[in-house]
Structure 1
Amino acid sequence: MWNQPYLETCCRSALHRLTLVGRPGRPDGLKDGPCLRRLEGMGLARQREDGRFEATPAGWDRHALEIVPRKSA
């Protein structure tokens, strides 16, 4: 049974962008700002002291599970 909160398509894309940008993070004030804040509320992203957003460990796990699942060997 799936027990994760649903991610809207736009929020899935925002989470994917967070993983692509990695350590530099995403700046605040972009079009995906509402999704970044929603992800933050879900514990999948966080806003750093410098104002940029980054994926949390839970965000990385969710990304691996739902957005880019690995194929089993």
Structure 2
Amino acid sequence: MWNEPYLETCCRSALHRLELSGALGRPDGLKDGPCLHRLAGMRLAAHQADGRFRITPEGEARHEREVLRSRPAA
């Protein structure tokens, strides 16, 4: 049974960009800001004291399951 909240396409994209940003993270105030705040509310991202969002271990696991899983094999 699926027991995780659904991630809208825009939020999956924001999660992917967050993963790609690595330790640098993503600043608040960008177009994907609402999604980053939503991801933080789901504990998939953390809004740090420096104002940047960084992916959490839970976010990395969700990224692997939902984003990387959907990529076609090379």
TM over 0.5: yes
**Identity between Structure 1 and Structure 2 (%):** 69
What does residue range 19-38 of structure 1 map to in structure 2 within 5 Å? 19-38=19-38
Please give the alpha-carbon distance, in whole angstroms, between the structure 1 residues aligned to 2:40 and 2:47: 7
TM-score (norm. length: structure 2): 0.91
Q: State the partner residue of 1:11.
A: 11
More helix by share: 2
- 1:61 paired residue number: 61
Q: How large is the RMSD of aligned CA atoms in angstroms?
A: 1.1
SS in 2 for 1:5: coil
- Look up the match of 1:40: 40
| Offset at residue 28 of structure 1 (A) | 0.6
Secondary structure of 1:22's counterpart equals helix
Runs of 4+ in 1 over 2 A off after TM superposition: none
Unaligned runs of 5+ in 1: none
* Cα distance in 2, alignment partners of residues 2 and 63 from structure 1: 16
Deviations 1:29-49 (A, max 9, x none): 000000000000001001111
> 1:23 Cα shift?
0.3
Note the residue ranges of structure 2 that are not aligned, 5 or more in a row: none
